[in-house]
Amino acid sequence: MLLQRYLEPSVLAGISNLELVAKTVVDGFVAGLHRSPDFGFSQEFAEYRMYSEGDDLRHVDWNVFARTDRCYLKRYRGETNCQLTMVLDASNSMTYGSQRVNKLDYARYLAASLAYMASQQRDAAGLLIFNNDVRNYVPPSTRQGQLMRILHAIEKAEPGERTDFAKPFRHVQEFLHRRGIVVVFSDFWERAATIIETVAPLRYRGNELVLFHVLDPMELRPKLDEPVLLEDLETRDTLEVTPDYAAKEYREKIDAHVEDLRYRAKGAGIDYCLVDTGQPLDEPLRNYLGVRKGRF
Amino acid sequence: MGFLAPWFLAGLAALGLPLWIHLLRQHRTVPRPFSSLMFFERRTQSSVKHRRLKYKRLLLLRLLLLLLLALAFASPYLLRSIAGMAQKRTVVIAVDRSFSMRYGDDFDRAKREALARLAKVPQGTPVQAVALAGGVEVLSQPAVDAGEARAAIAGLKVSDGRAPYGEFARYLRTLSESTKLPVEAHLFTDAQKTAMPAGFADLRLPSDATFELHAAGARERPNYYVESVSAPKRIYDPKRVRIQATVTASAAPKAVREVRLLLNGKVAQTRQVEVPERGRAVVEFAGLDAPYGWSKGEVAIDSADKLGADDRFLFSIERTDPRKVLFLHSPRDSRSPLYFRTALESSSEGAFQMEARTTDQADGVALANYAMAVLSDAAGLSAGAEKAIARWVSGGGNVLVTLGPASSALAKAPVSGETLGGSRYASRSGERFFAAAQVDQAHPATQKLGQMEGVKFYQAVAVEPGNARVIARLSDQGPLLLEKTSGEGRILLLATTFDNVANDFPLHPGFVPFIEQLSRYLSRMDGAVSNVAVDSFIELRRDSESQGTAEVIDPDGKRILSLEQAAKASGFPADREGYFDLRRADGRRETVAVHADRRESDLTSVAQETLALWQNAPGQTNAAAAAESTSKPWSPWWYLLLLLAVISAGEFFLANRYLSTDIDASEASPQKEAA
């Protein structure tokens, strides 16, 4: 439990080394699960499925065929050579933070943690950083030093420009040649329908898609003592906002937006995780793994 | 309360400025960054709620600052009651003891009335006694105890001085300013018209003063008096003496008066004169057989009024031998001594006696016997004689050096040592003669000379002035008359001669007065008159550095100077009538006659209207003025200024605190963004 104290974002912000942050997160998280640190996917049998045309004959259980004269495919619980691609939104809106750790930093810690976990399981991990275009791309790989490349890219991610989902995600589709897991970290300041329309094509190629909706507590539950002039970090537009509006109508709208996104993601077969940057990092990791477990 | 400059109150409009800054501009705060405005909508809140005043304490201080600033410039004043102060005042009892108060029993009556008024002064009121004679004499300091003032007034004696009302008013002003108390003044006088100052403004009294003039004498007071005597200070020939006296009737009818000329107490001559009503008559006495030395003269008329002190007029006179003038000339020049002697003897008083010698007779002359010497073109003077003359000049002798054809050959002028540049002849340079171009008429030797119009100079010697002062120049700008000092003596240098050859000056009317003035100047004969008025300052030494001691014996035969004064005093004021025997610092003895100022003898009174105006000048004629006099404007300017300074400091402190907070907040936001 002592290690879990280090999962607090404010504590992690004091650690400058991203690798150390990722290690601290994962070790603390795993310690909390009371599971072996060598936890991972294995070649465990899951179920049989009737053969259908097009299925790979290599997965046919020939012993069953010999006994029953029927073709059954043998399915396993996990893929050891899973490919993890993390997509990190580095737009200006991600730099907002009402606390010590802003959204981009929080997303960095999460991405680093996932990359560390993948590295521990010998999975190929990659990273794509975007805002209005693709700013950096580390192809998924299991090569030696891949973790350091990813961490380096995460650390070098500079916020800038506006968020534009369409163009970067077209590139992501081009980069993804193998099936795998695509994890997107963003604040998704866009209409839910547009977001799902943009990211859904990734799902069609057999990828598992997970959306981490990273939001600051002040974005979820803003508290204003007096009328303030708010300035959009991306568009630089200013708007005078009253406390009453922020306390009532805004909350209703943001809640509706989250629900809409969750609903549309579910409809599109996309996993959705709302991440509050005021919470410790084990919460989104737990959600993520829970999602993964439920899927298998 | 009022304002001296109320238009500055328009500055109160500036109060809107801080309100505008704090109220209208307050909500325009620094924009707060937010990730997205996607779900926000513009809402306008109620202005009352939205535009809340911020930094209320700072706003209050700023409003106060502007308010006080406008008030301070508007110069507010408050009328403070001085009713309490009116109870406390300084009472001044002034008694005129001038010469004119000798008339009848005016002075005794004035003293009696003054003492009676003094007795009426309430207990505990500061009272002061002063007297008017030649100025304001403070007899006692302001004191609650009136005993000192009473004794001073009771012991007063009439003087020979004047009573200037202007100085009395000035004294009251000074007293009011120094004591910060209202002044109640009572003046017991004869209200003489000649005591009034030239301008009525000089009679101005302090605003908080009350003044009452108690006129002691009757309005019309006839008086005959000797107004003036014109007599020479020195006489050389008794037969040539002329003495004139003026007898005046002031507010008196026409009368025949007997005028006597007394010398050393004995009647020398008597005249009868008819004095017109309110007019004056002049009497002349010819010849005065005075003994050698100083004599005490007096012109007196028979007394016919209550003021007998002005029926006599004193003067002093000194009989002496004519002064000897040494005239050294070239043996070939017989014209210069002729013209010089004639001019000298033509002067009215015959004060000089010329002794002519040729230059070869100059050796061994006792120069100390001569008042002055003239070196007329004395080129043939022996070196020994020249040195003797130079020594004599350094010791206080005076010499006139004229330069003619014989001197033009010299390199330097005799005795004076000025560099000579030879003769200049007007006919040789295209002009037939030179004229005098610039004559300094402020110089004692040339005061009566004019500009020497018409005098033709045919020949002159060129003189390099050096350190000498040029008194007159010729038309070619060459020096004509120069002066220099050598030791204690004077040297005048004339670049031409008196022989009527080098010029025609001896034939012109200006020659005689020029020679007379020049001789008087060189022999140091001052033109002092034989008598002075009371309160005049009599000089005892010309130079304050002079080491000699002076001595003054007053008309009573007493020495009036202390030892220190005798060694250092440059003069003394003659404060009474009579003959003062002086021994000046340079050793000269003299008798000075002092007479009362004859303006005191004109007993015409001041007009009643003028007196009323003077007494009412402070402004106690009506109730409003009286009420005003009991209140005094008081300006809170300094207190406003002090308050302004305190508020400014508070404003600075608060503004600095608030602004620094805002700056810190605005600086912190970008840092957070960057982090």
Measured CA distances, B462 to A83, A95, B452, B472, B482 (Å): 130, 107, 19, 13, 12
The distance of B81 to chain A (nearest Cα, Å) reads 55
- Measured distance CA(B12)–CA(B2) in Å, rounded: 16
- Please indicate whether, in this complex, the C-beta atoms of A250 and B40 are within 8 angstroms of each other: yes
Q: Are B594 and B298 in contact (CB under 8 A)?
A: no
CA dist B217 to B140, B150, B306, Å? 25, 22, 12
Instruction: Mark out chain A residues that contact chain B at CB-CB < 8 A.
Output: 93-97, 100, 102-103, 187, 189-190, 216, 219, 226-235, 237-242, 244-246, 249-250, 253-254, 257
* A12, B66, B511, B656 from B144: Cα distances, Å: 93, 50, 71, 59
Query: What's the gap in Å between the CA of A233 and the closest CA on chain B?
Result: 5
Encoded tokens for B599: 């303006």
What is B74-117 written as a DSSP string?
T-EEEEEE-HHHHHS-EEEEEEE-SGGGGSTTHHHHHHHHHHHH
pLDDT for residue B54: 65
Residue B646: other Cβ atoms inside 10 A:
13
Residues pairing with B15 in the sheet: none
Chain segment B545-583, per-residue pLDDT in tens: 567 888 999 999 999 888 888 888 888 888 889 999 988
Mutation for B interface: A94, A95, A191, most B CBs within 10 A: A95
Q: Can you tell me the distance from the alpha carbon of A36 to that of B187, in angstroms, rounded to the nearest whole number?
A: 125
Q: Where are the alpha helices (DSSP H) in A101-186?
A: 103-120, 146-156, 166-175
d(CA B464, CA B468): 9
What residues contact residue B533 under an 8 Å CB cut-off, 6+ apart? B594, B595, B596, B597, B598
For an interface test with A, which of B28, B30, B40 has the most A Cβ atoms less than 10 Å from its Cβ?
B40
- B37 in contact with chain A, both atoms CB, cutoff 8 A: yes
- What is the complex's ipTM, to 2 decimals? 0.77
> Nearest Cβ partner of A250 from B30, B39, B44?
B39
Task: Give residue-wise pLDDT tens across range B618-670.
Answer: 544 443 444 445 566 778 888 888 998 999 999 888 888 876 655 555 554 44
Nearest CB to A232: which of B36, B44, B672? Answer: B36
DSSP-derived letter for residue B20 is: I
Q: Where does the pLDDT of residue B37 fall: very low under 50, low under 70, confident under 90, or very high at 90 and above?
A: confident
Pick the residue from chain B with its C-alpha nearest to A235: B36
Contacts of A103 in chain B (CB under 8 A): 35
Q: Which residues of chain A have pLDDT under 50?
A: 1-6, 32-42, 79, 295-296
Model pLDDT for residues B586-627, shown as the tens digit of each residue: 787 889 999 998 888 888 888 888 888 887 765 444 434 444
Q: What percent of chain B has pLDDT over 70?
A: 88
Q: Please name each of the domains of chain A with its CATH number.
A: 3-37+79-295 (3.40.50.410), 45-76 (no CATH)
Q: How many distinct helices (H) and strands (E) make up chain B?
A: 14, 33
Task: For residue B52, give the chain A residue with the closest CA.
Answer: A226
Q: How many CB atoms lie within 10 A of CB B581?
A: 18
Q: Is the confidence at residue B236, as pLDDT, over 50?
A: yes
B22, B53 in Cβ contact below 8 A? Answer: yes
Distances (CA, A) of B450 to B484, B507, B514, B609: 22, 15, 9, 50
| Residues 6+ away with beta carbon under 8 Å from B398 | B371, B372, B373, B489, B490, B491, B492, B522, B523, B524
Digit-coded pLDDT (tens) for B301-359: 987 788 888 999 999 988 888 888 999 998 888 889 999 998 888 876 678 889 999 98
pLDDT, average across residues B268-272: 92
Beta bridge partners of residue B542, listed in sequence order: none
B30 CA to chain A: closest CA distance, Å? 7
pLDDT at site B44: 57
Using the 8-state DSSP alphabet, how is residue B607 labeled?
P
At A140-196, the pLDDT tens digits run 888 888 888 998 898 888 887 776 777 778 877 777 777 788 889 999 888 899 888
Residue with tokens 């410039």: B73
Identify the closest residue of chain B to A94 by CA–CA distance. B35
Angle (CA) A35 A36 A40, round 5°: 100
A187–B34 CB contact, under 8 Å: no
Q: Which two tokens stand for residue B649?
A: 């400091």
The mean pLDDT of B63-79, rounded to a whole number, is 86
Exposed/middle/buried for residue A16 (C-beta within 10 Å: 0-12, 13-18, 19+): exposed
Nearest to B455 by CA among B421, B491, B481: B481
And the tokens for B11?
């500055």
DSSP state at residue B594: E
Q: Is A210:A262 a contact under the CB 8 Å cutoff?
A: no
DSSP string across B377-429:
S-TT--HHHHHHHHHHHHTT-EEEEE--TTGGG-SB-TTT--EEEEEEEGGGG
Q: Please state, for a pLDDT cut of 90, what percent of chain B lies above it.
A: 20
- To the nearest whole Å, the CA of B29 is away from the closest chain A CA by 7
Rg of the Cα atoms in chain A: 21
CA B522 – CA B340 distance, rounded (Å): 15
Mean pLDDT of B277-287: 90
Give the whole-angstrom CA distance, residue B279 versus residue B284: 17
Residues 6+ apart with CB under 8 A from B410: B379, B420
The average confidence (pLDDT) of chain B is 83
Cβ pair A234:B43 closer than 8 A: no
Cα B455 → chain centroid = 40
Please, are residues B378 and B328 in contact by the beta-carbon 8 Å criterion? yes
Phi first, then psi, for residue B385 (nearest 5°) are -65, -40
How many whole angstroms separate alpha carbon A163 and alpha carbon A150?
A: 21
**CA nearest to B33 within chain A:** A231
User: Residue B411: is its pLDDT beyond 80?
Assistant: yes
How many whole angstroms separate alpha carbon B523 and alpha carbon B153? 51
Question: What is the rounded CA–CA span in Å between residue A280 and residue A149?
Answer: 25
Distance CA B474, CA B470 (A): 11
B469: enclosing H helix or E strand = strand B469-474
Contacts of A235 in chain B (CB under 8 A): 37
- Distance CA(B88)–CA(B209), nearest Å, equals 12
B48 part of contact set with chain A, CB < 8 Å: no
Task: With beta carbons less than 8 A apart as the criterion, state whether B323 and B523 touch.
Answer: yes
The answer to whether the Cα torsion of B604, B608, B609, B610 is positive or negative is positive
List, in order of start, the domains of chain B with CATH numbers. 2-36+46-80+636-674 (no CATH), 84-220+605-629 (3.40.50.410), 223-320 (2.60.40.10), 323-522 (3.40.50.880), 531-594 (2.60.40)
If you count residue pairs, one on A and one on B, with CB atoms under 8 Å apart, how many are there? 79
- Mean pLDDT (whole number) for B275-284: 90
Query: Is the CB of A228 less than 8 angstroms away from the CB of B32?
Result: yes
Q: What's the pLDDT at B617?
A: 60
